[in-house]
Amino acid sequence: MNWTKQFLFRLYHEPMGFFGMILVTLVILSALFAPFLTTHDHNALDIANRLAGPSAEHWMGTDQLGRDVFSRVVMGSRIAVWVALVTVSMSLGIGLVLGMMAGYGPKWLDAGLLLLFDTLRSFPTIMFALALVTVFGPSLQTVIIVIVATTFPVYGRMVRTQTQALGNQEFIVAEEAMGAGMGRILGIHILPNIIGPLFIVASMDIPVVVTIEAGLSFLGVGVRPPTPSWGSILNDGYAYIRNTPWIIIFGGLPLIVTTLGFTFLGESLRDIFDPKLRRDL
Amino acid sequence: MAEPVLNIRNLSVNYFTPRGTVQALRCINLQVPPAKVVGLVGESGCGKSTLISAVIRLMAENARVAAGEIRFLGQDMHRLSSRDLQNIRGKDMSMVFQDPMTALNPVFTVGRQMKDIQYRDAVSRKEKLKRASDMLSLVGIPDAVSRLDNYPHHFSGGMRQRITIAMALLVQPKLLIADEPTTALDATLEVQIIRLLKELQTGFQCAILFISHHLNVIAELCDFVGVMYAGELVEKGSVRDIFHRPGHPYTRALLECDPSVIAEPTRFLPTIPGEIPSLIDLPAGCIFHDRCPRAAQVCKNTPPPEVSLAEHHTAACHCLEV
Amino acid sequence: MAPLLEVDHLRVRFKTKSAVKALIEKDDDPYIDGVMGVSFAIEPGQTYGLVGESGSGKTTVARAIMGLLPVHSGAIRFHGENLVGLSRDRIKPFRRDIALMFQDPAGSLSPRLKIRSILAEPFRIHDMMPENLSVEVARLLKMVNLSPSMGDLYPHQLSGGQARRVGVARALALSPKLIIADEPTAGLDVSVQGEILNLMAQLQNDMGLSFLIITHNLAVVRHVSDHVAIMYLGRFLEQGPTQTVFHRMRHPYTQALLSAHASPDPDAVHHRISISGEIPGLVSRPRGCEFHTRCPGVQEKCRRQFPDKAGAGKDHRYFCHYPLSVPEN
């Protein structure tokens, strides 16, 4: 209790973090309550009103099919947040398990897992995505697979290094001397010591994932139309950028807000939790 | 006594923390005479490190000198400009640290580092390297000329501590501050380093402020000893007075606790019961009264006076038999 | 009485390169020796002191006994049963009888767990949960003179002496017969060292525990141990009853170590048997007697061959070609 209070107090005194927190809350609220926030059906066509500018009726104007951009942006936040949370938690989970195994397990396992991490990390994301799309076709799942496969090795490597450093410490040797098994040592003694910094990295990874998803959808290898994704909104507006720039502007705005929000929040979290920067507590 | 090299007068240092003001040092008076070795003993939390950081003016961000002054060669250390300060550090005053493994920069050769610290002297590079190798052979590093090209990791722990001592003495300081220089070393090495310091000190005639929690080392090396407890200098005097005729109950207890002092093997060793009082809420009266075997009522209420026991030998205690 | 622990010609070797690399480089012996065949025995209720400078291999001996390192050859018998070569499952019951106390008081306690959970660990690991855990934890804390409310603290909130006590309490949890204490006084102030040693002595009296104390501090060993071994580069250079080794030492290294630990007296004329240099690394193990590079009495023979074991009375053993004459008392 006290701890949460202290955390909020600290966050309040990190103006950037506080600002980031507000932006992140906005994005998450909009994703949660999207159906109640939209003013129109996000897929309803209104050919008569196509490419209309912002007005009281359409706050962010309409696109080339006359769909309400505001409603599409709001619904798009669902995709963005969902993809971000799913991929980051999957990467984190896979990275944790494999990284701890590599860091604490036998040498051959470490060598094998490292090879896997480095191989996957060397895949160029876009090429990898295009290759998968030719095999499985464009879909949200493809996006998730691509992002998870290219980001979990980063977590894996990080976890491995931290596990190795902890594995040599006396409290781990003490557990081994008492006869504790690998599961117990990893789960109870190593995990709590490495999870904190990992969450901070994850929160800073969310904006990266959001932009990758938008990028893939923009290229047409991600979310299938007519599902609104921020990337596909940008793609829709791209052709009309000269005459009706608001589609691009309003489609890009949420991307910037999300990216900034999570980055500010992540950096403040790091400042708050990094024991080297922390003065007391 | 001649004009002291280092004169600490009524020094008090506070740390400001969220939990309150920690009165880490209170009213310290200590003099280091020229060409003498002054030892500071005390257990963890007694303020030894704070005292050093105040002397070299490299204090933590939240520390303030609340009162008193530190005069080094007559100059007030805490009134000097940072430029004057730089001219003192590493020239008239140099330091040897506890951990020989981290005191040297791992990416430069020993020769390079020893040459660089002579940057103030207008002599040729060759001359500087010559001085460096001379100094290395003086501290007992064989084959010094060729070892100038080695990196710190080529040397063992004891050798590195010799190198840090060589570097500290290279500038011919008036005062050498040695902060637990033998703590990280094995007993047989400790003996070697202490002997070396003693020889060099006699040769260079520099004053040494030597900090240690190890009584043997203090007894062997120092001329004068100060005993610190919970931020106060409870007793000071010549090394013989302190070890043979200790006055303050804390000094006595500390000497009695050392397992190497107790001649007859025993399974039950003496201890000092209790713990160091909080330096945020200082107890009234004597700082040691709650652990003191001789504590009387007056000790609980009134801070003890500084009692002179012999020339240069004083102790802060109510219950001394003078 | 049969010894509780008997270590017989224990040898521990460390691999220096992988099997593949050794094969490529045609190195038939890619090992260095950590422990070179040491033998000793600990009787029930007794304390054995293992003394040596850093790098002498004393911690390696402890870890080998705990089964944390592979043993190359030799035997470690506990109650007559050889622990060397036992599988993980077979060795687990013995870990209840042998407990280890670590060098770093706070560093050997899991930093994110409360003291209460740290003390419960031994029970959880061995599936021996007591009926009322908090009573058990309080009992353990009380045994080491800590208040039960300490159970709610985290390791970093303890002082060095308190953390060390928690280490003792954890070692006691499963009522072991032998406690291996690695530098029990390292990093503690002089006034606290006595507290820990007294606590250990008291526990030994009350429970009949045996201790193997590993330390570089001869002053400590002199007071607490019945037998002592002086270790150097993986060998016991001298071993025997503490009084004998301290007063009738035959090995020059023992003498040098002892003189380095003289009592603090500014007037003492130090007959320091100064030995120069430092303990060589395991990789550059000297030929012949390992100590010859630093020995003040070194002669030609010392450089060529390691001395045979020599005895001087009951249980007193040393390895030296030119032993010191026994000082007259």
pLDDT band of residue C327 (cuts 50, 70, 90) is low
In angstroms, the separation between the Cα of residue B268 and the nearest Cα of chain C is 5
Residue A220 is classified by DSSP as T
Q: Which of A17-26, A157-166, B231-240, C221-230 has the lowest mean pLDDT?
A: A17-26
Could A174 and C170 be called an inter-chain contact, meaning their C-beta atoms sit closer than 8 Å? yes
pLDDT one-digit tens code per residue, A104-137: 988 899 999 999 999 988 888 888 888 888 888 8
pLDDT one-digit tens code per residue, B40-65: 998 888 888 899 999 988 888 889 99
* Shortest CA distance from C55: residue in chain B: B186
CA distance A242 to A239: 8
Neighboring chain B residues of C252 at a CB cutoff of 8 Å: none
Partner residue opposite C110 with nearest CB, options A177, A179, A189: A189
Distances (CA, A) of A203 to A13, A207, A260, B297: 19, 8, 12, 61
Write down the residue that tokens 């300060």 correspond to: B85
Q: Is A209 left (phi over 0), alpha (psi -120 to 50) or beta?
A: alpha
What is the rounded average pLDDT of the residues C180-196?
A: 87
Residue of A2, A13, A280, A281 to mutate when probing chain B, most B C-beta within 10 A? A280
pLDDT band of residue C19 (cuts 50, 70, 90) is confident
pLDDT one-digit tens code per residue, A171-210: 998 898 888 888 899 998 999 888 888 888 888 888 888 8
* Shortest CA distance from A281: residue in chain B: B18
Say if residues C7 and C38 touch (Cβ distance below 8 Å): yes
pLDDT one-digit tens code per residue, C85-113: 888 888 888 889 999 998 887 888 998 89
**The pLDDT of residue C68:** 87
**The pLDDT of residue A276:** 47
Could A173 and C108 be called an inter-chain contact, meaning their C-beta atoms sit closer than 8 Å? yes
The residues, any chain, with a CB within 8 Å of residue B56's CB and separated by 6 or more, are: B89, B93, B95, B177
Does residue A280 register a pLDDT over 50? Answer: no
- For chain C, list the contacting chains (3+ Cβ pairs, <8 Å): A, B
Could C95 and A179 be called an inter-chain contact, meaning their C-beta atoms sit closer than 8 Å? yes
In CATH, A2-273 is 1.10.3720.10 = yes
- For chain B, list the contacting chains (3+ Cβ pairs, <8 Å): A, C
pLDDT band of residue B321 (cuts 50, 70, 90) is low
Could C261 and B275 be called an inter-chain contact, meaning their C-beta atoms sit closer than 8 Å? no
- For chain A, list the contacting chains (3+ Cβ pairs, <8 Å): B, C
Does residue B283 register a pLDDT over 90? Answer: no
Partner residue opposite B257 with nearest CB, options C191, C242, C267: C191
pLDDT band of residue C65 (cuts 50, 70, 90) is very high
* Burial status of residue A28 (CB atoms within 10 A of its CB: 0-12, 13-18, 19 or more): middle
pLDDT one-digit tens code per residue, C199-211: 999 999 999 999 9
In angstroms, the separation between the Cα of residue A279 and the nearest Cα of chain B is 9
Does residue C312 register a pLDDT over 60? Answer: yes
Neighboring chain C residues of A189 at a CB cutoff of 8 Å: 110, 112-113
pLDDT one-digit tens code per residue, B144-190: 888 899 999 888 888 888 899 999 988 889 999 999 888 878 888 88
Nearest to A247 by CA among A257, A229, A234: A234
Q: A226 preceded by cis ω (within 30°)? A: yes
In angstroms, the separation between the Cα of residue B234 and the nearest Cα of chain A is 30
Measured CB to CB, residues of chain A less than 8 Å from chain B are 280
pLDDT band of residue B225 (cuts 50, 70, 90) is very high
The overall average pLDDT reported for chain C is 87
The overall average pLDDT reported for chain A is 83
**The pLDDT of residue A252:** 85
- The count of CB pairs under 8 A between chains A and B is 3
Does residue A278 register a pLDDT over 50? Answer: no
| Bigger pLDDT: C29 vs C129 | C129
- Of all residues in chain B, the percent with pLDDT exceeding 70 is 99
Does residue A2 register a pLDDT over 80? Answer: no
Helix or strand holding residue A31 (H, E): helix A15-32
What is the rounded average pLDDT of the residues B58-84?
A: 89
**The pLDDT of residue B177:** 93
Neighboring chain A residues of C109 at a CB cutoff of 8 Å: 171, 174
Residue of A166, A170, A191, A194 to mutate when probing chain C, most C C-beta within 10 A? A170
Could A179 and C170 be called an inter-chain contact, meaning their C-beta atoms sit closer than 8 Å? no
* Shortest CA distance from A170: residue in chain C: C108
C260 and B CB contact within 8 Å:
yes
* Shortest CA distance from B240: residue in chain C: C266
B189 and C CB contact within 8 Å:
yes
What is the rounded average pLDDT of the residues C284-300?
A: 88
pLDDT band of residue C43 (cuts 50, 70, 90) is very high
C266 and B CB contact within 8 Å:
yes
Residue of C197, C263, C283 to mutate when probing chain B, most B C-beta within 10 A? C263
pLDDT one-digit tens code per residue, C129-157: 888 889 999 999 999 989 999 899 999 88
pLDDT band of residue A281 (cuts 50, 70, 90) is very low
Could C121 and A175 be called an inter-chain contact, meaning their C-beta atoms sit closer than 8 Å? yes
Does residue A1 register a pLDDT over 50? Answer: no
What is the rounded average pLDDT of the residues A163-172?
A: 90
Could A171 and C108 be called an inter-chain contact, meaning their C-beta atoms sit closer than 8 Å? yes
- Stretch 204-223 of chain C: residues touching chain B, C-beta under 8 Å: 216-220, 222-223
**The pLDDT of residue A17:** 81
Partner residue opposite C266 with nearest CB, options B157, B243, B268: B243
Neighboring chain B residues of A280 at a CB cutoff of 8 Å: 17-19
- The count of CB pairs under 8 A between chains B and C is 118
| Bigger pLDDT: B5 vs A41 | B5
Measured CB to CB, residues of chain C less than 8 Å from chain A are 63, 66, 68, 91-92, 95-96, 99-100, 102-104, 107-113, 121-122, 124-126, 170
**The pLDDT of residue C1:** 63
Architecture of domain C44-71+81-273: 3-Layer(aba) Sandwich (3.40)
Neighboring chain A residues of B17 at a CB cutoff of 8 Å: 280
Task: Enumerate the domain spans of chain C.
Answer: 44-71+81-273
Neighboring chain A residues of C212 at a CB cutoff of 8 Å: none
